[in-house]
Amino acid sequence: MTDAARERLQVRLPLFAVSGVAWLLLATRPHAMHGTTVSARVTASALMFAAMMLPMIGPPLRHVRDRSLARHRLRAIALFAGGYSLLWIAAGVALILAANSIGAIAATFLAVAIWQCSPLKQHCLNRCHSHATLSAFGPSADRDALLFGLRHGLWCIGSCFGLMLLPMLLSRGHLAAMAIVTLWLAGERLETPAAPRWQLRGPGKTLRIIAAQARRSMAFVFSARL
C-alpha cells in the first residue's frame, strides 16, 4: 500500500465506521425518523446525516488534514466537522418538518426532479468539489477550518436536500430509499464539475464503474470455465 493510499484509509475508515453504526441504528429503530419531539427529530437528523453524508466528506477532510500542522490537526478536523455537521443536522430537522407537512407528494417529487435538472443544482455540486485556502498558524487556522466546514456544508445541503427529502415522504421502504439516494449522491460526487445548465443528472459514472466491474467479473468466470 502506498503512503497516499494509507493516508486516505486513515480518513475513510473512521467515516465509514460511524456511518455503518448509524445505518445499523436506523435499521434496528425503524421508527426513528418519525419522532415528534425536538430531541427525537434532532436524533433522527443526526443519524440520517451520519449514515448518508459522512462517507462523502473524505476529500475535504483530507484537505483539512493535509494542510494543518501536526499539533493543530485534530482541532482543525474537529472544527471543520463540527461546522459541517451542525449545519446538516439543522437542515435534516428542517427536512423532517417539511416532510411531515407536505400533502402533495407527487408534486414534491416533480419539484425535486426539476431541481435535479437545474443549473443551480450543478452550481452547488461544483462548489462541493472546491477546497478553500487554509491558514496554518494562529487563530486564522481555526477560523479557516470552521468556515470551510460551514461553507462546504451549505453547498452540500444545496446539492443534496431535494433527493434527501424523498425517502422521508414514503410510508414504506424508507431505509431502502435512503440507501438508493445515498448511492445516487455518491455517484454525483464522482462526476467532474460541469458548466451549470439544464440537464438530467444522475450517478452515471458510478453505473459505468459497476458495469465495467461486472463485465470483468463475467469475463473472469467465463475464462475460468474454459
Domain count within the chain: 1
The answer to the question of residue 209 being in a domain is no
Using CA atoms, how far apart are residues 22 and 1, in angstroms rounded to an integer? 29
CA 164, 168, 172 angle in degrees (round to 5)?
130
In a domain, 218, yes or no: no
**Average of pLDDT values for 79-90?**
96
pLDDT band at 226 (very low <50, low <70, confident <90, very high): low
pLDDT at 5: 62
Flag whether the pTM goes above 0.85.
yes
Query: How far apart are alpha carbons 126 and 81 in whole angstroms?
Result: 20
How many CA within 13 A on the CB side of residue 124?
20
What is the pLDDT at residue 86? 96
Cα angle vertex 191, ends 168, 59, to 5°?
85
* CA-based R_g, the chain, Å: 19
Q: What is the pLDDT of residues 180-196, one digit of tens each?
A: 999 999 989 888 899 99
Residue 112: inside a domain: yes
- DSSP code for 67: T
226 domain-assigned: no
**Any alpha helices (H) in the chain, and if so which ranges?**
3-28, 38-52, 58-66, 73-101, 105-117, 119-127, 138-165, 174-190, 204-225
Give the pLDDT score at 36: 82
Residue 149 has pLDDT above 90, yes or no: yes
- Residue 166 inside a domain? The answer is yes
Q: What is the pLDDT of residue 58?
A: 92
DSSP string, 111-137: HHHHHHHSHHHHHHHHHTT-------S
The Cα 211–Cα 206 span in angstroms is: 9
Burial of 140 (0-12, 13-18, 19+ CB in 10 A): exposed
pLDDT by residue (tens digit) across 4-22? 666 677 788 999 999 999 9
Q: Residue range 174-181: average pLDDT?
A: 94
15 near 54, Cβ under 8 Å? Answer: yes
Total count of residues recorded for the chain: 226
CB 185 within 8 Å of CB 124: no
What pLDDT score was predicted for residue 148?
97
113 found inside a domain: yes
Confirm if 51 and 183 have CB atoms less than 8 A apart: no
Q: Which domain holds residue 186?
A: 3-201
Residue 84's pLDDT band (boundaries 50, 70, 90)? very high
Confirm whether 224 is domain-assigned: no
pLDDT (tens digit per residue) in 88-124: 999 999 999 999 999 889 999 999 999 999 999 999 9
pLDDT level of residue 137 (50, 70, 90 thresholds): confident
* 3-7, 27-31, 157-161: least confidently modelled range: 3-7
The answer to whether residue 210 sits within a structural domain is no
